[in-house]
């Protein structure tokens, strides 16, 4: 047991165990990642990201205070970032095509994992009070996690190099479909059977969107502030629904109809 006086005036705060420091590093890393997401991915003020970043810094400060239970709060906060955004997290991790978003999410999830596990272990050590150093395997686990992240980032980068490239001039000359908010600016598109459909997908909105038609196997992501090329050739006449595949966006009204005429 640790020597902690029971009189409130002379309470001795325990020294930080190594894992508490690791929890703090993960929390600060997550805060920086959220700030980065706001600057580089969303490119506009986002209240949720700002609140989460503030919470991470607050959590890190709390862990630094040295109270025994605080790493557990750090662990919960680390887990909250990912669990509270599970939809976008799963979407970004399974869609490496907007690579910037994918890479960001891989690193954020890794930091969250580190913060969560180290926070729980640090709390356990704090209450047992007989071991202050991190377990020997910590370095190996961190190295393994870094390796897994690097592998995921490398694999995620592969389809990009194989993707079709189109010049900005050509892209600019195409008719556009835009996502100015949680909607498409056109809800009806028309096409001819056997004729190639080429559209520019403009996304002036501060969040990622996508143009998806399941029946035609068309899935075109577009990150915030960017443009993408929509290119497909319908072979069957009919009415198809297009939508944005980002979690919750379809339900929010990002849907439309493609009419393919014979």
Name the site residues for Cu ion (rule: CB under 5 A). Answer: 209, 244, 246, 249, 254
Instruction: Quote the least distance from Cβ 68 to Cu ion, whole Å.
Output: 44
Q: Tell me whether residue 37 or residue 246 sits nearer to Cu ion (CB atom).
A: 246
- Angstrom distance (rounded) from CA 159 to CA 173: 26
Q: Tell me whether residue 197 or residue 222 sits nearer to Cu ion (CB atom).
A: 222
Instruction: Quote the least distance from Cβ 244 to Cu ion, whole Å.
Output: 3
Instruction: Quote the least distance from Cβ 199 to Cu ion, whole Å.
Output: 16
Instruction: Quote the least distance from Cβ 168 to Cu ion, whole Å.
Output: 23
Q: Tell me whether residue 192 or residue 257 sits nearer to Cu ion (CB atom).
A: 257
Q: Tell me whether residue 68 or residue 249 sits nearer to Cu ion (CB atom).
A: 249
């Amino acid at each position: 047991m640790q020597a902690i006086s029971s009189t409130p005036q002379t309470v001795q705060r325990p020294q930080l165990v190594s894992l508490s420091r690791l929890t703090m590093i993960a929390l600060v890393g997550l805060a920086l990642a959220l700030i980065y997401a706001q600057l580089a991915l969303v490119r506009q003020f986002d209240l949720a990201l700002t609140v989460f970043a503030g919470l991470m810094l607050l959590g890190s400060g709390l862990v630094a205070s040295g109270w025994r239970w605080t790493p557990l709060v750090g662990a919960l906060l680390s887990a909250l970032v990912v669990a509270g955004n599970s939809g976008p997290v799963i979407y970004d991790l399974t869609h490496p095509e907007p690579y910037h978003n994918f890479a960001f999410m891989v690193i954020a999830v890794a930091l969250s994992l580190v913060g969560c596990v180290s926070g729980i272990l640090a709390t356990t050590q704090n209450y047992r009070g007989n071991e202050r150093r991190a377990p020997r395997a910590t370095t190996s686990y961190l190295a393994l996690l870094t390796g897994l992240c690097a592998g995921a980032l490398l694999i995620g980068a592969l389809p990009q190099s194989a993707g079709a490239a189109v010049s900005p001039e050509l892209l600019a000359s195409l008719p556009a479909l835009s996502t100015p908010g949680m909607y498409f600016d056109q809800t009806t598109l028309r096409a001819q059977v056997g004729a190639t459909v080429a559209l520019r997908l403009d996304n002036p909105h501060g969040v990622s969107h996508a143009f998806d038609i399941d029946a035609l196997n068309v899935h075109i992501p577009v990150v915030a502030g960017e443009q993408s090329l929509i290119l497909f050739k319908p072979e069957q006449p009919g009415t198809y629904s297009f939508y944005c595949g980002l979690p919750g966006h379809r339900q929010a009204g990002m849907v439309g109809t493609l009419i393919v005429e014979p």
